[in-house]
Amino acid sequence: MNVGFISLGCSKNLIDTESLIGMFQKNRFQIVNEEEKADILVINTCGFIESAKEEAINTILEMAEYKKQRCQYLIVMGCLVQRYYEELTKALPEVDLFIKIEDYDKLWDKIEDLLKRGIVEKEKKKSSKKITQIPQMPMLTQEQFLNRVITTGKNYAYIKIGEGCSNKCTYCAIPYIRGPFASRKMEDILEEADMLAKKGIKELIVIAQDTTKYGIDIYGESKLAELLEKLSKIEGIKWIRFLYAYPEGITEELIDVVANNDKIANYFDIPIQHISDKILKRMNRRTSKEQIENLLKNIREQIPNVVLRTSLIVGFPGETKEDFEELKEFVRKAKFDKLGTFMYSKEDGTPAEKLPNQIHGNTKKARYNQIMKIQQEISKELQGKKIGKTYEVLIEDMSFDGKYYIGRTMQDVPEMDGIVYIKNNTDKKPEDTLNHFINCKVTDVSDYDVIAEFV
């Protein structure tokens, strides 16, 4: 039978999808990329914010149409299922099997049972729409990690070092969906990284909901810096980056490791969410404005060429005009290299859902636009400084017309940051260029991408 997959949401979800692809492949199913050719369609959903939930529901309904043609089974898994299992089973009879995250340790058993019996296994457990407690989630097994099929191409792969989150920010449902933070054993991570390197992967992207929490639950202290050092010793791996480092967890040791290890990208993705002390407290964040400003100053002093990325939330309940003006002024002064903004989304079962002074949608949209306009000007200024500089670029693709090679620098996270277009005006052959690291000089820039030429 042919199996097709759709993975929605974050890169952590993608790893779960890749693991399931590996299970199907191990059991001799054929993996296909076209929905119309699939006998089985699997959708891994996101349920983090309202827009993600809408996307997931629309995708399920769209894929259900293929059951009128070739598709025999529609399987839905992931965060949306974990969060709204009972409602989904009643509302979407087109789906043959819903799989909660808490059942991932029985993932293949459930799929095998569905295929053998040809009917939906009726779950006896009932879930409530309202989130009342934080579940203890099982991790994927080491075998599942090692057998996963990499879907991100030849050059890079994500490596998940922990599951869940224990930060309990008032706006966030992740702890209730994925459970508290649970680290993987370091030796398991290193074994998986070695496997990826042997497959030809050149860049490891270390991920977790908060990578700085890695190791605290099983080793009694953060082990992120040590893990990065050990990963850098794996032969074949050239670039390493880690994503989502909460500000309170960034230690001097971690900064030092980034500053002094050539394989580790000088790149910090620090989700600060806001800068007003009042809003930070209402969000149950663990840092103050002063601590955030001191951290950014410290990182930039120790790593002069560092790239700083952050994410912000506008329109959080109780955010006054004064709070927002404070945030705008901070964005202007901090001059983040990369910045993403979210409009606050009221999520079922989270403490922030019940906070007074909820902000009107039009106000949230207006504030979002103002922040992004400020950041656009900052990005334009920072981009201009790149002209004339030379960067090592990982060449990953070619434009349809063949006029440009397409790549990334160490400063750019795939599918999140900008890309480099390199003019194909030399005698370099694709086989000597694609999937290689080549020095390129920037000749022009746009708001987020750059044009370059081979040195």
Q: Which amino acid is at 442?
A: V
Residue with tokens 């299992």: 85
Distance CA 17, CA 138 (A): 16
Check if the beta carbon of residue 76 is closer than 8 Å to that of residue 111: no
| Architecture in CATH of 2-117 | 3-Layer(aba) Sandwich (3.40)
**CA distances to 149, 158, 335, 405 from 153, in Å:** 10, 11, 32, 16
Q: Which two tokens stand for residue 440?
A: 């390129």
For the 390-454 domain, the top CATH level (class) is: mainly beta
Read out DSSP for 371-385?
Answer: HHHHHHHHHHHHHHT
Distance CA 40, CA 33 (A): 12
pLDDT tens digits along 206-224: 999 999 999 999 999 999 9
Nearest residue to 47 via CA among 16, 77, 79: 79
Q: Which pLDDT belongs to residue 428?
A: 82
182-183 and 162-163: which strand pairing? Answer: antiparallel
**CA distances to 3, 59, 417 from 36, in Å:** 10, 14, 32
**Domain locations in the chain?**
2-117, 142-384, 390-454
CB-based contacts of 305, cutoff 8 Å, min separation 6: 266
pLDDT tens digits along 303-338: 999 999 999 999 999 999 999 999 999 999 999 999
Residue 84: band (very low, low, confident or very high) from pLDDT cuts 50, 70, 90: very high
Bridge partners (DSSP) of residue 406 are: 397, 421
CATH code, residues 142-384: 3.80.30.20
Residue 92's SS3 state is coil
pLDDT tens digits along 240-265: 999 999 999 999 999 999 999 999 99
Nearest residue to 396 via CA among 155, 64, 142, 63: 155
Q: Give yes or no on whether 2-117 and 142-384 have one common fold.
A: no
**CA distances to 58, 78, 151, 345 from 52, in Å:** 10, 12, 21, 11
pLDDT at 392 over 60: yes
pLDDT tens digits along 149-190: 999 999 999 999 999 999 999 999 999 899 999 999 999 999
Q: Which amino acid is at 272?
A: I
Q: Which pLDDT belongs to residue 137?
A: 62
CB-based contacts of 295, cutoff 8 Å, min separation 6: 247, 250, 270, 287
Residue 23: band (very low, low, confident or very high) from pLDDT cuts 50, 70, 90: very high
